[in-house]
Amino acid sequence: MKFIDEYRDRAGAQAYARALRRITTRPWTLMEVCGGQTHAIVKFGVDTLLPPEVTLVHGPGCPVCVTPLELIEKAIEIAAKPGVIFCSFGDMLRVPGRDRDLLTVKAGGGDVRIVYSPLDAVALAERNPDREVVFFAVGFETTAPANAMAVFQAARKGITNFSLLVSHVLVPPAMEAILSSPAGKVQGFLAAGHVCTVMGFTEYEPIAARYHVPIVVTGFEPIDILQGVFMCVKQLEEGRAEVENQYARAVRRLGNQPAQQLVNEVFEVVPRKWRGVGEIPRSGLGLRPAYELFDAERRFDVAGHALDEPAECISGLIMQGLKKPPDCTAFGGVCTPEHPLGATMVSSEGACAAYYRYRRIPIASMEETRHGR
């Protein structure tokens, strides 16, 4: 397929692998900050092409995964109320709360619906003026413009029965939190290309300078990722710490400025708790006072919930790049996509889900099977 096949070219991938082996002289640890990139790495075996000195670890790159349990419980509480139509993207319906998920609410008679856009939820509110329509606004900077547009349109049309349960998070503060951690071992980042199509990459420049780490804006296909790793390792080997753009076919330095203006009109920067990581200052978006009418937490006055992660689940360590899914004793046994302990297994972009789907059999065992041993 044009514009995809060339980024999955075997010869091109092997050429980048050889080039990496030529320039790598010491161990380096890089982190990708996108669940889509994690799945591509695991699915296509990108990490198996790297020299042994280069290690890829998986960051908090899945917005479903980092949505805290407390907010899942608020979603469940709102969705179970009579007269509410609760709308969400599909992954969020299966994320477990304390003892149930949104699909359980739906099975019990709650009106929980999967939509493909927040504007679909606005249209539902317009067609059902006697019902409260709530959209679960989850995501990084990538989905913020569409959610901002939903609120903007509802306000413009005078639709008062629509609201957002907001769980937006911002990537740069999470990267800083990882770099500031005493346990941190990340020496370079592959930044999420789709986030940068919206926000550009100027926010990464002070991070690269402050922590002296290279940051390479990277796409999602195998060649994209291998080229991003090459650019990052090349900087490390040369002692540089800059922001570079591998994903130039989609990303510009200043990003999509009209989208940014809309986000800034509707949302303001707030502290946000990240599941498995904790609260990070100025790492989320919340509705501005001018749009608080559309804030579902205010509208439904849902109580706070203090919940702990299951003791067996190490998703927090995985999202900080300190562990990988096979390091978890529950992986593939107690914890599966059908019965997940944590969101990194239930989300289609979660690292645990990627390893479960593509790496339940260790690579060494796969090679032995392939060769009849």
Q: What's the Cα-to-Cα distance from 358 to each of 251, 334, 340, rounded to whole Å?
A: 29, 18, 17
Reading phi first (left if > 0) and then psi (alpha if -120 to 50, else beta), residue 212 is in left
361-370 pLDDT tens trace:
654 443 443 3
Decide if pLDDT at 372 tops 80.
no
- Does some domain include residue 332? no
Helix pair 35-44, 351-358: axis angle to 10 deg: 20
Chain Cα centroid distance, residue 50: 24
- Does some domain include residue 160? yes
Residue whose C-alpha is closest to residue 167's, from 135, 198, 196, 194: 135
CATH of the domain at 77: 3.40.50.11740
Number of domains in the chain: 1
Residue with tokens 């996108």: 34
Distance CA 57, CA 66 (A): 16
- Does some domain include residue 74? yes
- Does some domain include residue 113? yes
- Does some domain include residue 150? yes
Mean pLDDT for 10-24 is: 96
- Does some domain include residue 123? yes
Strands 54-58 and 267-274 turn out to be: unpaired
Range of the domain at 142: 64-169+256-300
| 70 and 307 Cβ atoms separated by less than 8 Å | yes
122-154 pLDDT tens trace:
999 999 999 999 999 999 999 999 999 999 999
pLDDT at 90: 87
Confidence of residue 309 (pLDDT cuts 50, 70, 90): confident
pLDDT at 164: 98
- Does some domain include residue 131? yes
Mean pLDDT for 332-337 is: 92
- Does some domain include residue 161? yes
83-122 pLDDT tens trace:
999 999 988 998 888 889 999 999 999 999 999 999 999 9
- Read off the tokens for 233: 């390792």
| 347 and 65 Cβ atoms separated by less than 8 Å | yes
